[in-house]
A and B are shown apart, each in its own frame.
Chain A
């Protein structure tokens, strides 16, 4: 379940299952969205992005879905592996000439072997 304060929302899945990580974004004018993966002690690593003129984009084992009506973004990971264990952040770009990213709170994905 979800908790607040010092605890990240956590998603626990079995190895081989599919994972879905959700994100609600704040600004209806945002036109670019990115998912990042951050492993312990490392910087955020780009996974996949999507622009507001699309509602779905697929990469290798990952799919991002965008629902602009309800300002919702999701990341689907197929056949989750132990190496997928990390904190996942969505980020929205307000657009314009500043490329200012606003990050979501993050979700900890824990893959059980």
Chain B
């Protein structure tokens, strides 16, 4: 199984809402990532988790809060987002955080009204 799954596929939220994005992998990978991708742009790294600990935060605003409950799950909690946060949010995983291939999920298309 080389699949990374993400839910929901689409999400529309208001600026005062609280929502969460979920990501799951069952490949036994110990590194998981969140990326943000705007239209016609490349993915940009947000967070890296290694062995369930946050190892990289790319200066992401605190309205985005990641969580790694266990080695298979990665969440991104959203609160008080802005319309400019509308984007495709991609999750990826890799065996560990040495130079390994990252495998991406299908993404969650987020729209903030």
Partners in one complex: yes
Chain A interface residues (CB < 8 Å from chain B): 6-8, 31-32, 34, 36, 41-46, 49, 51, 89, 93, 95, 97-101, 103-106
Q: Main SS of chain A's interface residues?
A: loop
* Residues of B in contact, count (CB < 8 Å): 28
Say yes or no for B43: interface residue by CB 8 A criterion. yes
Determine the residue in chain B with the shortest Cβ distance to A51.
B99
Q: Closest 3 interchain pairs by CB?
A: A103-B42, A43-B104, A32-B99
Bound Cα distance from A44 to B4, whole angstroms: 11
Beta-carbon contact of A8 and B104 below 8 Å: no
Chain B interface residues (CB < 8 Å from chain A): 4, 6, 31, 39-45, 48, 55-56, 90, 94, 96-107, 109
If A6-B40, A89-B42, A100-B45 touch, whether A45 touches B104 (CB-CB below 8 Å) is yes
Beta-carbon contact of A99 and B98 below 8 Å: yes
Beta-carbon contact of A7 and B48 below 8 Å: no
Bound Cα distance from A109 to B24, whole angstroms: 30
Beta-carbon contact of A100 and B101 below 8 Å: no
Determine the residue in chain B with the shortest Cβ distance to A45.
B104
Complex A-B: 17 CB contacts under 8 Å: A34-B101, A43-B6, A43-B90, A43-B104, A43-B105, A44-B90, A46-B103, A49-B101, A51-B99, A89-B42, A95-B99, A98-B97, A99-B48, A99-B96, A99-B100, A100-B45, A106-B40
Bound Cα distance from A105 to B96, whole angstroms: 26
Chain A positions within 8 Å of B41 at CB level: 105-106
Chain B positions within 8 Å of A31 at CB level: 99
Chain B positions within 8 Å of A49 at CB level: 101
Beta-carbon contact of A101 and B56 below 8 Å: no
For the complex formed, measure the closest distance between the CB of B53 and the CB atoms of chain A, giving whole angstroms: 12
Determine the residue in chain A with the shortest Cβ distance to B48.
A98
Chain B positions within 8 Å of A45 at CB level: 104
For the complex formed, measure the closest distance between the CB of B47 and the CB atoms of chain A, giving whole angstroms: 11
For the complex formed, measure the closest distance between the CB of A9 and the CB atoms of chain B, giving whole angstroms: 11
Beta-carbon contact of A97 and B43 below 8 Å: no
For the complex formed, measure the closest distance between the CB of A97 and the CB atoms of chain B, giving whole angstroms: 6
